[in-house]
Structure 1
Amino acid sequence: MPSVFDGTAIGWAIAVVVAVPILLVVLTEVIGLLRRRRSPAVKPLLLLRNWVVPVGGLVGLLVFATRSEDDLVWPRIVATVFGFLVILLLLSALNVALFATAERGTWRERVPTIFVEIGRLLLVVIGLGFLFQQVWGADVEGLITALGVTSIVIGLALQNAAGGIVSGLLVLFEQPFRQGDWIETGGATGRVVEVNWRALHIDTGSGLQIIPNAKLADASFMNLSRPPGPFTAVVTAVFDPGTPPHAVTAVLRQVAEDLPARVPGGEITVTNGGGGAWEVSIPLDSPVNADEARSTFRSWLWYAARRRGLALDKIASDATADRRELEHAVDASARSLHLDETLRDTVIDGAHLERFGAGEVLLRAGSTAGPLSLVVDGRVLFTSPDAEPVGVAAERGEWIGTSTLTREPAATTATALTVTTVLVLPLALADRLLRARPALAAELSADADRRREARPSV
């Protein structure tokens, strides 16, 4: 061991004292440059500057100042700390080189965090064993043998649990889903909120369901978020087999196109399964809207099928009941229609009732052909083409489609706020009423002028 008074030792000590400050200054400048570039290499360089270099310099000074073997306790302690810091530095640099700079889609980016942590732990254990063997002369081989035997015993005792953990780790390494994806497995559908080494956590909307990774490894599941793009919701419907296919296709497609969650421009597919069974594929913006879209579609389809006289679920409407409801609606609207007994029978014979579900469109802006409708029950909101609310919602006794009497395009879109029933007057019937009741014509003209003035200027 060199003495402190040895010329060589003094030279090395002077070199250490001079080199450490210079190296610290250089590292500080490099760290500042990389920090401005937001480089992940800043973290290992900070460890190098703040700990490795100063402790390494201290090790050098203590070693060169040691006079005998009896004075090696403190140098060995400091050397052990220095060696541990070097191990951490190498692991940090390896992490930056392999994973922190990994490009999206590469195998380095797909490696689960737990794999990285396990590998880091093994490297730390191996590095510490080598360090204690070199600095303290420890018998590492005996310790490794004991650990090997112990691990075999533990593995046999916990083979079932260990098998589940290994299966979970394999699922994590493959990464068939990510946090935020929507998956369907085991009768449960939900969004992935957490993925760890033991289990998968999905939010089903009615609670948090925990699915062990080992179960996923042995079963099949569907990732609804891959491939990326619109999610397709499939809805089935059954009509009377005697219904013309073109009529069923038209109503199914129209209802699907009006759904709020539908991707604009997405292709809607209608398939005839035979025997009155139909299947509709609707492109949605997200799987989160699938259940709500299916429910809305089925509700709107019921109203749309009744309006067109189609037997949904092979159940036709009751003509007698419909006639009674029509007579009741006409009697309740007699004052708004300025009816007498003769005109009452005329309206009952020529008009009909239509019902719309909440959110359905009764009249679209820009349409020029359409009947005149009177709100019998419910509320209707009028919006301009740019979706700006116009005036107040129409309620019972108010008119819809007054612009069609003058063959002008509708200035607003009428949307049902609640389940709405309207009395529909075909144009021929409406013209006959207006000729017979000039007061009604004046009211409709005033209503059209009011709606036109309420429309915002573009």
Structure 2
Amino acid sequence: MEMTMTREAALTAASVLLLATIVVPRLISQWSLWARALWRVAALIVLTVLVQRVLGSPIAPRFQADETGVRLWEQVIEVGWWIIGAQSAIGLTRLFVVFETRPRETRIISDLLAGVIYLVTLLAIVNFVFDVPVGGLLATSGVIAIVLGLALQSSLADVFSGIAVGIERPYNPGDLLWVEGGIEGRVIQVNWRSTHIATFKGDVAVIPNSVIAKARLINHSLPTTLRGLSVTVKLDARDSPIRCMDTLTAAARACMLLEDDPAPSVARTELSGDGAVYEISFSVFSGAVILAARTELLGQVQNHLRHSGISLAVVGRPMVPRTEIPSSAQMLQESDWFGVLAAEDRSLLAAHLTEVLVRVGESLIRKGDDPQALFIIASGTVEISNGASGDKHVVFRMGPGGSLGAVGLITGSPYAATATALTPVKAYRLDKKAIGAAMQIRPELERARLDRNQEIAC
């Protein structure tokens, strides 16, 4: 009787332990992998002691033959022991792969290892717990596996290709990937069957792993996310190559989305009867800004070519009309500050404009200086920055048509930023004294200045 009570007590303790092993990790969801693995291993050790007390060896259990209910209870405990053992093995395997200086396994590899362990556990339960020989079962399952393999050949190819991709790891979620066939974007998911890529057009491309394993790939995120690109422009062959290259270089330097290191470069790549081809090479920090960078660059190219009087070539036409360079009066008309003035007032101010040439590195205005003049950029690129020279923060880059120093000259406040020439710059200067002389001739300009000052204050 004492032995029976001991056996029943051990079965009860084993049942409680099995229930705790299942319930406790779910109640404490924030447990780490280490905590879950240690809990299962500890439970497995205690459960092994209890199973040995009741059934002997878990590999060769001795069940009660006389009582059906007790025998079923013992079989449940034995099945639970195998399941806890499988979970402990899976947890330790994952920790070993992760922390023993080996590459972190992907979700596919992790699921594959778990599947193999659970399959072995299922066969062990069938053989040791229910005393069913697995030899015939394995033979039958082999035939079934062949039939399923033939029926699921395409899906299995995707699965095993996904395993190969998981082991080799040519890309990871978050990487910018180009796939042969014109698909390019950011990897958002890698699963058993396919790789999901968010394209730059806002779509999601789902590519089977068997296809992506055979395709040529370019991972733009390795070793860095820096992207090297180029844009070609065909110009009138009558214009000087040096002048064309300087103008295109100034256009590229005016772009905020293009990287300064490496700096943009321009090369003449082709010459034909209907024009000369120039290639602008540049870099961006990420593929996500490619479209925006191209748009910015082409806009700057158009603006710089117009103000330099350089025409775009037309295919099949050796002669194209010359582009007219905007005059100083026309630039005043297109200016945000002076475009609201009457034509005669702009002509009066244009007569007081003086042309200045600024070399690379020289400043047109400096932050904190008293305003003495404003400038309208005729050609070249100017960098607008604030802060000291050792802690310079670039705010903007200005090309032809932009104006500098107007706010300070109108309001009388010191210059709020520093403007430095990034390329050789030609600008029109309008001095404070010249504006005062023009106001004496036309007092309406003073009223316009006061109105503009009020707009700025508002």
What percentage of residue pairs aligned between the two structures are identical? 20
- What amino acid does structure 1 have at the position aligned with 2:208? P
Alpha-carbon distance, 1:411 to partner: 3.1
How far off is 1:298 after superposition? 0.8
Which runs of 5 or more structure 1 residues have no equivalent in the other structure? 352-362, 375-381, 390-397, 415-423
CA 127–15 in structure 1, closer or farther in 2 if over 3 Å, else same: same
Aligned 8 A contact 1:182 1:223 in 2: yes
Q: Which runs of 5+ in 2 are unaligned?
A: 271-275, 315-319, 356-363, 378-383, 396-401, 420-425
Q: Deviations over 1:290-314 (max 9, x none)?
A: 1111111111211122122233456
Separation of aligned partners in 1, 2:366 and 2:79: 74
Q: CA deviation at 1:216?
A: 1.1
Is residue 194–residue 200 contact of structure 1 (8 Å, CA) maintained in 2? yes
- Using the TM superposition, give the Cα deviation of residue 148 of structure 1 relative to its aligned residue in structure 2, in angstroms: 0.6
The verdict on how the C-alpha distance between 1:158 and 1:387 changes in structure 2, with shifts beyond 3 A counting, is closer
1:207 alignment partner, one of 177, 195, 203: 203
Q: 1:334 to 1:77 in 2, by over 3 A?
A: closer
Alignment partners' CA distance in 1, 2:63 and 2:345: 120
- Report the 3-state secondary structure (helix = DSSP H, G, I; strand = E; otherwise coil) of the residue aligned with 1:426: strand
Partner of 1:216: 212
Structure with the higher helix share, 1 or 2: 1
Contact 1:43 1:92 in 2 (8 A): no
Contact 1:56 1:82 in 2 (8 A): no
- Give the number of equivalent residue pairs: 395
Picking from 403, 408, 411, the partner of 2:416 is 411
The letter of the residue matching 2:261 is G
CA distance in 2 between counterparts of 1:313 and 1:370 reads 38
The answer to whether 1:401 aligns with 2:393 is no
- Offset at 1:334? 6.4
Distance in 1 between residues matched to 2:285 and 2:132, nearest whole Å: 63
Q: 1:256 is paired with a residue of what secondary structure?
A: helix
Q: 1:97 to 1:214 in 2, by over 3 A?
A: same
Which one-letter code corresponds to 2:256 in the other structure?
P
3-state SS in 2 of match to 1:261:
coil
Alignment of 1:46-195 (within 5 A): 46-48=39-41, 53=46, 57=50, 60-61=53-54, 69-71=65-67, 73-74=68-69, 76-100=71-95, 102=97, 107-109=102-104, 111-185=105-179, 186-195=181-190
Q: In the alignment, is the contact (CA less than 8 A) between 1:235 and 1:280 conserved in 2?
A: yes
Q: By how many angstroms is 1:245 displaced?
A: 4.3
The alignment status of 1:272 with 2:267, answered yes or no, reads yes
- Residue 197 of structure 1 is matched in structure 2 by 192
Distance in 1 of aligned mates of 2:52 and 2:100: 44
Q: Which residue of 2 aligns with 1:379?
A: none
**Partner SS, residue 141 of structure 1:** helix
Amino acid at match of 2:194: A
TM-score of the superposed pair, with normalisation by structure 1 = 0.65
Partners of 1:51 and 1:85 within 8 A in 2: no
Residue 256 in structure 1 maps to residue 235 in structure 2: no
TM-score (norm 2): 0.65
1:426 corresponding residue in structure 2: 428
- Quote the residue 2:440 is aligned against: 438
Q: 1:239 aligns with which of 231, 235, 238?
A: 235
Secondary structure of the corresponding residue to residue 274 of structure 1: strand
Aligned residue in 2 for 1:281: 281
CA drift at 1:138: 0.7
Once the two structures are TM-superposed, the CA of residue 77 in structure 1 deviates from its matched residue by: 3.4
| CA distance in 2: counterparts of 1:387 and 1:119, whole angstroms | 53
Q: Is contact 1:40–1:101 with CA below 8 Å preserved after alignment?
A: no
* C-alpha distance in 1 between matches for 2:80 and 2:244: 74
Task: Summarize the Cα distance change of 1:89–1:121 in structure 2 as closer, same or farther, 3 Å threshold.
Answer: same
Aligned counterparts of 1:258 and 1:87: Cα–Cα separation in 2? 69
Distance 2:230 2:63 in 1: 84
Contact in 1 for aligned 2:353/2:428 (Cα 8 Å): no
SS of aligned partner of 1:70: coil
